[in-house]
Every structure is written in structure tokens, then in C-alpha cells.
Amino acid sequence: MSAIEQAIKDHVDVLNLSLGNEINGPDLPISLALNKAVDKGIVAVAASGNSGPNVWTVGSPGTASKAISVGASTPRLMIPTLIIEGNRESIRLEPMSGSKEWKLDRSIDVADGGLGRKEDLHSVKNKIALIKRGGITFTKKAQNALDAGAKAVLIYNNMNGGFIGTLEKPLGIPVASLPEEIGLLLKGQIEKGNSSVRVNLIEEQDRLATFSSRGPVTGTWEIKPDVVAPGVAINSTIPGGYMFLQGTSMAAPHVAGACALIKQAHPDWTPAEIKAALMNTARPIYKTENAPYRTYEQGAGRIQIMEAVRAESLVMPSSLRFGRFTSSQQGDRHTVLLNIENKSEKTLHYSFRIPEATDGLRWKFPLSFTLKPNERKNVPIVLAVDPNLFKKKIQDGRIELDVDSETVSIPYIYVLNEPNYPRVMGFDFGKGDKPGTYRYEVYLPGGAEQFGIALFDPQNFRFKGFLDSGRNLKKGIVQKEIEVDRLPEEGTYLAKVFAKKAGREDYIETQIRIINREP
């Protein structure tokens, strides 16, 4: 926060934040501060986070509406993939930073390496060591496997989803991460005696990194990230040298640099215009030949710096959010106002392409029009939706605007009824500000009809009571200080933090420590 305030005082042109948390909410203080920086004329760029590939994983400050949130794509790479016997699907591996280059391109056995301790690795020689995350560092796990004669290391997550990892130093063994479900699948195959896998190297370019956090944003129901940029196998600096690193923290600086180039070419352009130039000229990237990633996964697409600098027309906002449609308000119409600017030195003709007719969906677009050089125009786009005719609660797509011989693609999104976002996020527990108290903090993206923090014995899972509970809580951050004498007896507890709303319940499990004296 203080760094953002100092950047405003210093009148910087571009601000990059390669940091964040896992709370998908637009109203956290750091997100609001970043919006304020944009209001002061600063182009703010933020990493979207590394919690993908699930939806609703983009974290603050990447949730800031006015900032440019950046996801990670792959440059041209040889990507290691895994095919498990009896499963035709190819599984993409995520090489860790500091890993030896993956050159295995053959069938090989996998052995269970436990937590990667020396005593766990007696059977990994000349095999791939499958190791569970936790207990010791990634570097120690990999070094132990190397010392035990393993050919490669796969570290799978100890919680749902995937992750990216970094080795503390370069090691002479290939190391990659896996989502928990793939690791458990492999472990099950090993237990059945089917330990053989096929490692293939495939050329890949302009794919979305599996770790790249996806949107949309809770509450505002907007598209995030806004764009993607290369964030895998990026040769970056470390103390005393260089290392290939990955993450949206590697992608965001590419975009910050692109913004600086646009600002240099067009010093009078506002942050909104620079953001529009990047998004209006971005190129969508594809999962497969005919299937692009969703707009809330990639935003407008991968940035094209030269095209952005040369942009002749700017459409703002550069992604459209039509909000939430509910079954109780059938026939409700939502309107978004577009501001279109002709930045060229010639008259340009503008015409919207009308989407194909779809039951339950009615669009209304403005008629074709022309703009003289440096002229601008506000035009409304109206959407009416019958939520009862659609199963998916997140609906997205692209509106295409023909500008003479070129086309501007504008991503849009809307949600139906109460989307299936996680009902609870970001639990933290520790010492209170006042002596003799503990304090917890948790984020409820949509509020909660019922909320609680249940405590269990971590050894036998017996219920020990509630740390706190409540009903009909408002959305946002929930904070509370609790006096020590109101807490259960001292000890370590498994805390299950849960929230219910609109027929869905989500929870977070974590261990907490209570000491019945002044904390």
C-alpha cells in the first residue's frame, strides 16, 4: 500500500505489481488502492496469480477493475507430457524453475517416493520418483531423488489443484509439478502394478499456462485476466546470475514494458486508452485448433505490442460486463455504453457484426456509423437474457466490430442467478491486536446465509466446538477478535471454516494453534 502511495507521489507512468493473494474479490484495500492509482493517471499492471486452472482463482490485486490483470501464456517451448497406461489423455507437466531440461522422450517406470525423504526413496533408481508435496523443501526432495539414482522427479500437490514450484538452486535432474488428482491417479496405478508411463516432448506455443489464475471476479462479474503474456521458462535475473522462471509474475512485466512503449509513442493517452490499445489488438489463444480459451481465462488474448502502438481505433471499456441476470427478472435488459475513438488521421467506418440468433438471448446494436479523425462516439449495446434457457451460469463470448478492413474483438461476460463461486476464501488466524486476544479474518465473496468455524481434534477428528458462527452475514471481509478465556482449551485444532449460500456450501480446512495465556 505504501509503495502504491509513493508511486502516486513520484508521478510514475507505469506501475507493475508481481504479487497477490488468493482472495477473488474486487473490494480488498490493495485492489481499491490500485484503482485509485489509475485515477491519478498511472497505468497499473498486476499479475493475475498462479492458482489455476480452476475458475474464480484470480486474486487481488489482479481483481482491480481499472488495472491491467495479466495471465501467463507459453512461448515456443518443448513441453514434457505424460501418458499413463490405460489413459489416453496427455497430461502436461509443469517443469520447476531450476530444473534440468526435460529430455526424456520414452517409456519409463514410476516409483512412489513418499515425501521425498531419503528413507522413502529406496526403489526409485532409474525410474521417475513420484513425491508428495510437504514435509521438506522441493530442493531437498529433488536432491534426495537424484542421490538415490532417479531419472526425474514428479512432485504432486497435497491439496486440490496444481501449483508451480521453484528450486533453491539448479539441480542436475528434471523436476516437474502435478495437480493432486494426477499424483493420486499415478500412485493408484503404481499400487496396482501398472507403473509404466510414456513421457513425450511436444512443441507448444501460445497456450495458457495451467497455473495461470482464471476469472471471473466475484461480485463485479467481470473478465479477469485482461490479457496474457509469456510467463513460462522466462530467463530472468537472480542474485549472482540468471534462472529460467515462470509465473504470472514473469508475464506481468512484459505487459508493463509494453505499456511503457505505448506511453512513449502516445504520451497524451490515458491509462484507459493504453489498456484499450492492448486489449483491442490482442490475439486470442486456443486450447485446440478450433477451441479458444474462455474470455475469463485469457481476457482479450496475448498482447501484440506493435499492433497496440499502431492502434487507430480504441474501444472502451475493452471488455464488457453485463452483470447478473436472475430468473425472477425475466425480460430484464442490461445496457453497456461503449466509447469508440478514431485515433487515426482518416475517416473510419464502424459496423457491428450481429451474433447468430439464440433462443433466450436478444441483442440490440447501434447502426453503422463513421468517425472523423480524433472524433469519438458513445454507443449503447443492449442484452436481454432468459436465464431459464441456459444451464451454464457463466456465459461469455466476443462482439466483433468491423473498422474498415480490420476487426476489433471485444470480450464480454454475464452470469445467471447465483454463480458457483467459492463461498469462503482467505482464512487467517493469529494473535489479536489487544493483549489476551486472538483474531481471525475471512472473506465471504457473496455473504453467507450460514457461516461457522468448527474445531476438530486433528488426530481423531472429534468435534470440539465452534470458534465462531453466524447467520446472514454481508459480503466482504469478516474480522473478529476473541478473548482467550472464550476459546477452547489450548492445543492444536483442525479448523473447518464453512459458508453456505443459495444451496451451495464451501469450506477451508487448516490447522490452528491456541495457547490459553496472553498470546
CB 276 within 8 A of CB 315: yes
Can you give the pLDDT at residue 159? Answer: 87
* Residue with grid cell 469450506, as numbered in its chain: 507
**Could you give the angle at the alpha carbon of 350 between the alpha carbons of 344 and 356, nearest 5°?**
145
- CA dist., res. 304 & res. 311, Å (int): 11
Name the grid cell of 435.
493483549
Strand partners, 364: 382
Q: What structural domains does the chain harbor?
A: 1-74+206-311 (3.40.50.200), 77-204 (3.50.30.30), 312-417 (2.60.40.10), 425-514 (2.60.40.10)
Transcribe 340-368 into DSSP letters: EEE-SSS-EEEEEPPPPPBTTEEEE-PPP
Query: How high is the pLDDT of residue 314?
Result: 98
* C-alpha dihedral sign at 506, 65, 209, 393: positive
Q: What is the pLDDT of residue 194?
A: 85
Nearest in space to 45 (alpha carbons), one of 265, 211, 257, 218: 257
Cβ-based neighbours of 372, under 8 Å, separated by 6 or more: 342, 347
What gap in Å lies between CA 337 and CA 320, rounded to an integer? 9
DSSP 151-169: SEEEEE-SSSS----B-SS
Identity (one letter) of the amino acid at 73? Answer: S
Inter-residue contact 55 to 46 (CB < 8 Å): no
Q: Which amino acid is at 350?
A: Y
pLDDT by 10-residue block (mean), the chain, 519 residues: 92 93 93 96 97 94 97 88 80 87 90 96 96 96 96 94 85 93 92 89 86 96 98 85 87 98 98 98 92 97 97 97 84 92 97 89 95 97 92 95 95 95 95 90 96 94 93 95 87 96 95 73
Kindly give the interhelix angle for 29-39 and 2-9, rounded to the nearest 10 degrees.
10
Distance (Å, rounded) from C-alpha 9 to C-alpha 13? Answer: 11
In this prediction, residue 203 carries a pLDDT of 83
Query: Under 8 Å CB-to-CB from 89, ≥6 apart: which residues?
Result: 83
Supply angle C-alpha 89, 395, 256, rounded to 5: 80
Question: Contact at 8 Å (CB) between 133 and 157?
Answer: yes
Helices (H) and strands (E) counted in the chain, each on its own, are: 8, 32
C-alpha–C-alpha distance, residues 42 and 60, integer Å: 18
**187-198 in b/e burial notation, b at 16+ Cβ within 10 A?**
eebbeeeebebe
- Element housing 511 (H / E): strand 504-514
Burial annotation 204-230 (CB, 10 A radius, 16+ → b, else e): bebbbbbbbbbbbbbbbbbbbbbbbbb
Pairing between β-strand 94-95 and β-strand 234-238 as defined by DSSP bridges: unpaired
Count the alpha carbons within 13 Å of 230 in the hemisphere toward its beta carbon: 16
User: What whole-number distance in Å separates Cα of residue 506 and Cα of residue 241?
Assistant: 44
pTM of the model: 0.82
CA distance to 11, 255, 258, 296, per residue, from 261 (Å): 17, 10, 5, 26
DSSP 468-492: EEEEEEPSEEEEEEEEGGGSPSSEE
Residue 15 phi/psi, 5-degree rounding, is: -125, 125
C-alpha cell of residue 490: 489450548
Q: Are 203 and 180 in contact (CB under 8 A)?
A: no
Give me the helices (H) in 312-356, please.
none
Predicted local distance difference test score (pLDDT) of residue 519: 42
Give the list of residues 6+ apart from residue 49 with CB closer than 8 angstroms, or none: 20, 21, 22, 57, 58, 59, 62, 212, 213, 248
